[in-house]
Chain A
């Protein structure tokens, strides 16, 4: 219980800092911290595959993309004032209260079907996985076309 609460408070705090901080690098690092804590929460919920994907894609890939984007589009170096940092701390403390004490009524379900990850992915959601491949290829093609256009203009 205390581990979940600590992870939740850490997530809220790092999410608030990711929005409040003026330096983009610090914001991206805060977002990565939030994603790492989220993947720990997934491990705690007995969802190891989701946790590993969250670590690889949510934390690693997204951070690399965002930092690369920031480096390639750098314009100004704004510094976060101490006042803003304190405001972020107060905001995260206030937002942590409902997370710790709030509850929503939910029902527990259980199914008798074979619901292991491989059977779900390859039997139940096979078409989704195929469509996923198409989405990734289209995204890669889009990125190449966008950046190629730039190179041609130069």
Chain B
């Protein structure tokens, strides 16, 4: 069995999840998967090189990943509390329509 093929498979599943799911929490789960696949490569190559450099990188990567999850979840909670939205498609619909003055300026340019 090859660990790189496993890592690529998990990365692919994560990318599919990130592209197809529109729920904020599900997207975070997909991001977790992507980072796990990337971190796995560090450990595997560290094991191949018979040193601890890969483990050190994986520890640093995991801590950053936890920070990313915490901040992203805080953002998701803030968005939900303010707008009652958990779907990213609804979020992109919130884009403001340009005013008449802005339209005129755009036409002039």
Which B residues are CB-close (under 8 A) to A87? none
Per-residue contact bits, chain B 14-33, to A (CB 8 Å; 1 contact, 0 not): 10110011011110111011
Contacts of A62 on B, CB cut-off 8 Å? 32, 65-66, 69
Q: Determine whether B75 belongs to the interface, using a CB cutoff of 8 Å to chain A.
A: yes
CA distance A135 to B64 in the complex (A): 7
Cα separation A58 to B63 with both chains bound (whole Å): 9
Say whether B77 contacts A69, CB under 8 Å: yes
Q: Check A121/B5 contact, CB under 8 A, given A66-B73, A139-B71, A143-B71.
A: no
A57 close to B10 (CB less than 8 A): no
B88: CB under 8 A from chain A? no
Residues of chain B lying within 8 A (CB to CB) of residue A73: 24-25, 76-77, 80, 86
Instruction: Given A18-B29, A62-B69, answer yes or no on A117-B80 (Cβ-Cβ < 8 Å).
Output: no
Interface size class of A (residues with CB under 8 A): 35 or more
- A120-142: CB near B (< 8 Å → 1, else 0) gives 11001100110010011011101
Residue of A nearest to B46 (CB): A47
B16 in contact with A19 (CB, 8 Å): yes
Binding site for B on A (CB under 8 A): 1, 4-5, 8, 11-12, 15-16, 18-19, 24, 27-28, 31, 34-35, 38, 41-42, 45-47, 49-50, 53-54, 57-58, 61-62, 65-66, 68-70, 72-73, 75, 95, 98-100, 102-104, 106-111, 113, 115-117, 119-121, 124-125, 128-129, 132, 135-136, 138-140, 142-143, 146-147, 149-150, 153
B89 at the interface (CB under 8 A from A): no
When the two chains form the complex, which single residue of B17, B42, B63 contacts A57, counting CB atoms closer than 8 Å? B63
The contact sample of 17 A-B pairs, CB cut-off 8 A, is A5-B1, A18-B17, A28-B29, A42-B43, A47-B58, A50-B42, A50-B55, A66-B73, A68-B73, A73-B80, A75-B84, A95-B12, A104-B2, A106-B4, A113-B51, A115-B52, A139-B71
Complex Cα–Cα for A113 and B10 (A) = 33
Interface flags for B31-60 (1: CB within 8 Å of A; 0: not) read 011001001101110111111111111111
If A11-B10, A57-B65 touch, does A69 touch B25 (CB 8 Å cutoff)?
A: yes
B47 touches A47 (CB 8 A): yes
